[in-house]
Amino acid sequence: MATNITKIFLVLNSGSSSEKFSLYEGQDEVCSLYFEGVEIDGKKKFICTVSKADGSEEKVNKTWDSLNDAFKEAKAIFEKEGFINESHPLDGILVRTPAAGTYFSKHHIVTEETFDELEKAKLTYPLHVPGAIRGVKNAQEAFPGIPVMTMSDSEALTRDSRRDAEYALPKEIIEEFDLGRWGAHGSSYGYVMGKVKELGILEKKMVICHLGSGCSVTGFIDGEPAYTSMGETPLEGLMSSTRTGSIDPTVGALLGEKLGAAEAIKVMNKVSGLVALAGSSDMREIISGLEEGEENATKAYNMFIDGVAGKIGEFAAKMGGIDAIVFTATIGERSIPVRNSIITKLEFMGFKIKQDAKLDKSKGYVNVAEEGSKPIYVIPTNEAAYMITKASELVDAIK
């Protein structure tokens, strides 16, 4: 069945202390609302910024006491701006849902089963699931009758082509806890690999590096995922802004015994990684500290670069080589020093990067490799575009 790409979707990104509403016509974002917490007269309030497709921004002259209250106003703001009305109704509301397990390896239109599964997932995904639950509930209340969908963050990675999807644990434990190396950033990988094929730059063995606030690497063979760095949760794999990355499981067990499982998981997810090493989760600040010779920033930067380069090298060994590397997400797309540092470590594999190469967004991608090098692409990701395509398929299926 053909998908109508001109549907109107509201995409939610529900954080622990913020809420972003992005309204799309097809794959074009026409307006977004960003609610964030600020302190006013000693009390936490939430303010809203309206951003439009023409680049204009406007602060709403109002504050809210909670994100739940703010959510109720979102519909009114969109209606006031003329983006939603009777002749221009929503086709669906999308809630990005990073969560582990068989159920969340697929996209779903929300039912009571969805809430049961989200409650189960709260322990292992403390950064994302509580916000997703809040977003789903508020969406149903604010937009009655509109399909609300949980969009899987692992669907694009849940393929028979995966060679690393299982853990070496007893079968009965795997089944009891529904464990697996589900991976994450699936919407980003799905979009970027689709773009690679569309641009005609597909190579047999490729590695895509999604480097942002959260970081992961995925190896593809013939355009299908073979290996990915994240596991049951995004905690496995690379160190990120606030996550430890892979550590000795015994450390996690010891923290769990001392702090309790939920608190231990929060520590490893929220206050570790770059922010623990350098005192900042912002790669720009870390690079500035590195340039000034600041010891902690230098250590954090080097560990980060070693982690990414090491994972690429691991996948090269597993796949029998790499024919091309792709960088995406905020750090991958914007940080020339990070790309240069990673590729410098991989020159023995036939990669050499132009030290000052920049992305021309009008072209949609750029090959930053030196002449004679294997390709090194920078491709901006668009997770919303991938989710919208999948949501359109879900809506069409129920009509």
Task: Provide the residue type at 147 as one letter.
Answer: P
Pull the structure tokens for residue 327.
Answer: 């960088």
- 153 has catalytic annotation: yes
Q: Distance between CA atoms of 181 and 139, rounded to whole angstroms?
A: 30
CA dist., res. 69 & res. 46, Å (int): 9
Contact (CB, 8 A) for 167 and 114: no
In angstroms, rounded to a whole number, what is the distance separating the alpha carbons of residues 347 and 350?
5
Residue type for 278, please?
A
Catalytic residue among 153, 178, 356, 396: 153
Residue with tokens 């480097």: 211
Q: Which residues are catalytic?
A: 153
